[in-house]
Amino acid sequence: MNTQIDRREFIQTSGLLIGGVAAAFPSGRASAAESGGRIKKAVGWGMIVEPKLSVEDRFRVAKDTGFEGVEVSRYGSKKDATEPKELARASEKVGIPIHGVSNGSNPDLKEAIDDAAIYGSDTVLQVVRADPETPFMENYKRTQELIRSAVPHAEKKRVKICVENVWATFLIEPLTMARYIDEIGSPWVRSYFDVGNVMRWGWPQHWIEVLGKRIEKIHIKEYSTKVAMKEGMSKAFDLPIGQGDINWKRVREELKKIGFQSWATGEVRGGDRKRLAEISAEMDRVLYA
């Protein structure tokens, strides 16, 4: 596989083998009817804490512990920095795709899209943050324009820009997020939905209901409102997935209603092979029960 399209086909094929289907949409998503609603399970590259291992062997650890794909961050630890082409080669050799790239809230969207194309990834995650020094609507329109300006490049590279909901004090309820995406007016701009992050302001099942098919991919983590009240909001993420206050049954029901069977990536404290196996098992219980 020597071309960008070959790597993207590798990602799509990996997902199709999981679901047992023969065709996918351009985004790499197959219909729920074809795949039985099978969600693909991934891990963040920075969660694979095996510093003495080679890049290839870290991919093997992810694969061996039950993950079907990896998501990389462009702004991870400098100590752990690896060139995109090296990661792409290792991913391809081991047979576990890099399905997406996280760009944080950095404005260099076109460069992030180029990185995604090297990997064969079909999405770039972009965080939209509030600016306390700027009027709300000015920031709203300015960040939309940043994304809109990158859409032609995204379309050319066949990489979707996915806006994520984080604790950035902006777009903190689903109707506003849906409006923000719709106003950009491009099928290449979607939602990257984080199940745990919304627990600060609401319930994930309600967000899924409203965002619907705008959701391209999801992040998985736990959250406990009870712990948040007693020990502080950041502590509320520390529980094992499935042991907090998220109603995972309702989350699964709403994801099924929208035919979601794209990538779900764990975004929790990582570790060695044993820790990754624990995370993989936790994700199995909440996603496939």
Low-confidence ranges of the chain (pLDDT < 50): 1-3, 5, 16-36
| Segments of 182-262 assigned E as strands | 189-194, 215-220
* pLDDT tens, residue by residue, 128-151: 999 999 999 999 999 999 999 999
Q: Which two tokens stand for residue 101?
A: 């790239």
Whole-number pLDDT of residue 14: 54
Whole-number pLDDT of residue 166: 87
Whole-number pLDDT of residue 10: 54
- Strand pairing partners for 123? 100, 160
Whole-number pLDDT of residue 24: 33
Helix (H, G, I), strand (E, B) or coil at 283: helix
Which fold would CATH assign to domain 4-278?
Answer: TIM Barrel (3.20.20)
**What are the Cα distances from residue 173, in Å, to 166, 206, 266, 274, 276?**
11, 10, 22, 36, 32
CA atoms of 165 and 180, how far apart (whole Å): 12
Whole-number pLDDT of residue 75: 81
CB 98 within 8 A of CB 91: yes
Whole-number pLDDT of residue 82: 81
Domain boundaries, the chain: 4-278
Whole-number pLDDT of residue 184: 98
CB 132 within 8 A of CB 170: no
Give the distance between the most distant pair of CA atoms in the chain.
53
The pTM is what? Answer: 0.88
Whole-number pLDDT of residue 13: 52
CA atoms of 53 and 116, how far apart (whole Å): 24
* pLDDT tens, residue by residue, 106-122: 999 999 999 999 999 99
Whole-number pLDDT of residue 23: 32
Whole-number pLDDT of residue 153: 98
Whole-number pLDDT of residue 271: 97
Whole-number pLDDT of residue 6: 59
Scanning 42-195, the segments in alpha helix (DSSP H) are 55-64, 84-94, 109-119, 136-157, 174-184
